[in-house]
Amino acid sequence: MNPIFLFIILIPVVEIYVLIKIGSEIGAITTILLIFITAIIGVYYAKYEGLNTLRSGFVQLNKNEIPAFEVISGAAIAFAALLLILPGFVTDFFGFLLIFPPSRKLLFKKFSKKFNKNKYKKNNFIEGEFEDIEDNDDRKI
C-alpha cells in the first residue's frame, strides 16, 4: 500500500481519536478553543521564525555562501505552519516540533546523516586528455 495514501487515512483517524479523548477530559468548548489558540500562536511563531530564517539567508548570501540550511529550514517552517493550521493536537505537536530551531536542527542532522552516505555520491566528470590543434589554414568553410 502506498505510504502517502496510508498517511491520508491514518492522520484524520488519529486526530479524531485524540480530539475525542481530550474533549471528554476537558470539555468540548475548551478543546475547540485550545485548537484555535494553538493555531493562532503557531502561525505567528511560524511567521517570526520564517523572517529570522530569511534574514539569516540574506546574511549567508552577503558572505558569498550558499544558504542551503536556510532554504530547507524555510520549507520546514512552511510545512509546520500548514500542520498548525490543520485542526488537531497531533499535527500541532509535529508542527511545533518543526518550528522550534533546536528540534529542527536535530531533525535535519538525523536526515542528513541518512542521505550523506557514499552510495549517493556521483562523479559527474569524465577523465580524458586533449590536444590543442592550431589551424593555420586561412580557408573558410
Kindly report the number of other CB atoms within 10 A of residue 75's CB atom.
12
pLDDT at 121: 54
Q: Above pLDDT 90, what percent of the chain? A: 47
Assign residue 135 a region (left: φ > 0; alpha: ψ between -120 and 50; beta: otherwise). Answer: beta
Question: For residue range 89-120, what is the model confidence (pLDDT) as tens digits?
Answer: 999 999 999 999 898 888 888 877 776 655 54
Query: With a threshold of 0.85, does the pTM exceed it?
Result: no
Q: Please report the pLDDT score of residue 4 as a whole number.
A: 86
CA distance 61 to 73: 15
Residues 115-141 have a mean pLDDT of 65
On whether the CB atoms of residues 127 and 116 are closer than 8 A, the answer is no
Please state the rounded mean pLDDT for residues 12-40.
92
The answer, yes or no, to whether residue 141 has pLDDT greater than 70, is no
Q: Which pairs from 14-21 meet CB under 8 Å and 24+ separation?
A: 14/90, 15/87, 15/88, 15/89, 15/90, 15/91, 18/88, 18/89, 18/90, 19/87, 19/88, 19/89
